[in-house]
A and B are shown apart, each in its own frame.
Chain A
Amino acid sequence: RKEVEQDPGPFNVPEGATVAFNCTYSNSASQSFFWYRQDCRKEPKLLMSVYSSGNEDGRFTAQLNRASQYISLLIRDSKLSDSATYLCVVTGETGRRALTFGSGTRLQVQP
């Protein structure tokens, strides 16, 4: 079983749509949680950190459920520029700052 599991997609949505990504993680000792965004053939970049209380940044909302070991990302009013791969990331046992990535969910926003 993978440590971090995501639906690979692709998710094809029209501009303006709301899209939700889900992620589960297997290590209950995971301490911090993130969503990264990766454009084609580029490096991953931090989209947002995910806190137990949930957090929002503009059109993006992230939630964490530690009991279910579940993380979500909601994107409202999708833009063409949101097209990318979204990576669910947790810190694992190999080191407090070592990131464990899911395989990513690809989003394609259509005009």
Chain B
Amino acid sequence: ETGVTQSPTHLIKTRGQQVTLRCSSQSGHNTVSWYQQALGQGPQFIFQYYREEENGRGNFPPRFSGLQFPNYSSELNVNALELDDSALYLCASTPGTGLYNEQFFGPGTRLTVL
């Protein structure tokens, strides 16, 4: 186990609804990244938080937003859900600043939008 936890495990929503996904990073990790993984694809970078500030964003619309808290846990919020938002959402935490620091992934939240 990586020590990174995510909740909920599974979620079913309908189009137009809003969803909040949560991630608890490994102890001592100050950087959290969120990824979206559609079926049959590799994970796609959504955004990254470092010490509560957004530190990079991928090619996702503004309806994808996030937060990082002082204890370095994090939330991903998605507004106005669309069918294509159905995917596995992964968070990953990492310590330090080294280029080769390992990112530890949580088990993911599987979101289904109907």
Residue among A32, A44, A49, A87 with max Cβ neighbours from chain B (10 Å): A44
Residue among A92, A98, A102 with max Cβ neighbours from chain B (10 Å): A98
Contact with B along A72-111 (1 / 0, CB 8 A): 0000000000000001000110111111111110000000
Instruction: Count A-B contacts at CB 8 Å.
Output: 64
Closest 3 CB pairs of A and B: A95-B56, A101-B42, A43-B105
- Chain B interface residue count: which class? 20 to 34
For the complex, is A46 an interface residue (Cβ under 8 Å from B)? yes
For the complex, is A42 an interface residue (Cβ under 8 Å from B)? yes
If A42-B107, A43-B106, A44-B105 touch, does A99 touch B99 (CB 8 Å cutoff)? no
Contact with B along A41-74 (1 / 0, CB 8 A): 0111110010000000000000000000000000
Contact of B42 with A46 in the complex, beta carbons under 8 Å: no
In whole angstroms, how far apart are the Cα atoms of A104 and B39 in the complex?
Answer: 11
- Chain A interface residue count: which class? 20 to 34
**15 A–B contacts from the bound complex (CB under 8 Å):** A4-B42, A43-B90, A44-B90, A96-B99, A97-B31, A97-B48, A97-B56, A97-B103, A98-B45, A98-B58, A99-B92, A100-B45, A101-B35, A103-B40, A104-B42
Contacts of A102 in B (CB 8 A): 42
Contact of A32 with B100 in the complex, beta carbons under 8 Å: yes
Contact residues of A: prevailing secondary structure: loop
Contact with A along B40-56 (1 / 0, CB 8 A): 11111100100000011
In whole angstroms, how far apart are the Cα atoms of A4 and B43 in the complex?
Answer: 12
Contact of A99 with B108 in the complex, beta carbons under 8 Å: no
Known: A31-B99, A44-B105, A101-B43. 13 other contacts (CB 8 A): A32-B99, A43-B90, A45-B2, A46-B102, A94-B56, A95-B45, A95-B56, A96-B97, A97-B31, A97-B33, A98-B33, A99-B43, A104-B42
